[in-house]
Amino acid sequence: MLRVVLPAGLTVAFVAVVVAAVFEDGRATAPSPGGSPEPGGGEAVGPRVGDHWHAVYEYIVCGETQPPAPTRSGSGVHTHSDGIIHIHPFAPGEEGAGARLVKWFEYGGGLLDEDEVRLPGAAVTYENGDECPDGTIGTVQVFVNGERLTDYGRYIPQDGDRIEIVFGPEGSSSGGR
């Protein structure tokens, strides 16, 4: 019987190459040098399978911060009822554009578009033009890191973003507290 003995360093390198070959699927999933996951696929820049991002959010209706959306799983774009959007795509459909904020609402049974908003798990939908208790007219708005987004239908939350989804008087952000 022939026995081959390899130096320890060569054995470790061999095992590492075999493991990498078995699990390699052609996509980079390691964080970029800046600390955020590498952007992925197509026209939209966003997370890829294997990334794990977090964006803090607040849902504010007529000046009142609402409780976080209830915990839900089954999607790589979800929440744990902690005021955080967890983005770690499990499947290619949840990558890039599949991780948009509007998709997070949709995955949880909510709604977010230019005219309406309903937090996932909530029963009430607010529409532009609905009146707040103080008599002001509400409108759907989204602020990211204190800046108002005009095309939030395309917005993909980035790791570390602070998001405010607001239904209230025009420009009624809390300023990204």
As given in the structure block, the two tokens for residue 5 are 């003995």
Query: Which residue is associated with the tokens 């399978």?
Result: 49
The domain segmentation of the chain, as residue ranges, is 8-168
pLDDT (average), residues 16-43: 35
Residue 73's pLDDT band, with cuts at 50, 70 and 90, is confident
pLDDT (average), residues 86-98: 91
Per-residue model confidence (pLDDT) at position 32 = 32
pLDDT tens for 128-156 read 999 999 999 999 999 999 999 999 999 99
Residue 174's pLDDT band, with cuts at 50, 70 and 90, is low
Please state the pTM of the whole predicted model.
Answer: 0.73
